[in-house]
């Protein structure tokens, strides 16, 4: 008999899923910006809250943070806990 998926199954690979969702959102935001404005990114609009550029910047920062944390966790699993 096949077991039904539960909440624990959703938490197994959530970092990879987060990268997928953030990356997909980033692509869609860039496409929307290009369709509406005719360009991909205007650095002058980053400081204006609520613009596509400010949201894109926040998403990129979240992607970087997620990947750094993921890499650090993988290194700790591989090397073991640090002993001082």
Per DSSP, the three-state class of 34 is helix
Nearest of 68, 50, 62 to residue 25 by alpha carbon? 62
Domain ranges (residues) in the chain: 14-77
Q: Which DSSP letter does residue 4 get?
A: P
pLDDT tens figures, 11-63: 777 878 888 999 999 999 999 999 998 988 889 989 999 898 999 999 999 99
> What length does the chain have?
84
What is each CA distance from 47 to 18, 53, 61, 62, in whole angstroms?
Answer: 25, 8, 15, 17
CB 27 within 8 A of CB 63: no
């Amino acid at each position: 008999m096949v077991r039904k998926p539960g909440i624990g199954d959703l938490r197994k690979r959530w970092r990879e899923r987060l990268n997928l969702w953030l990356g997909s959102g980033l692509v869609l935001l860039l496409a929307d910006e290009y369709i509406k404005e005719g360009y991909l990114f205007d650095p002058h609009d980053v400081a204006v809250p609520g613009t596509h550029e400010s949201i894109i910047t926040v998403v990129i920062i979240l992607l970087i943070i997620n990947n750094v944390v993921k890499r650090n966790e993988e290194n700790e699993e591989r090397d073991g806990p640090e002993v001082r």
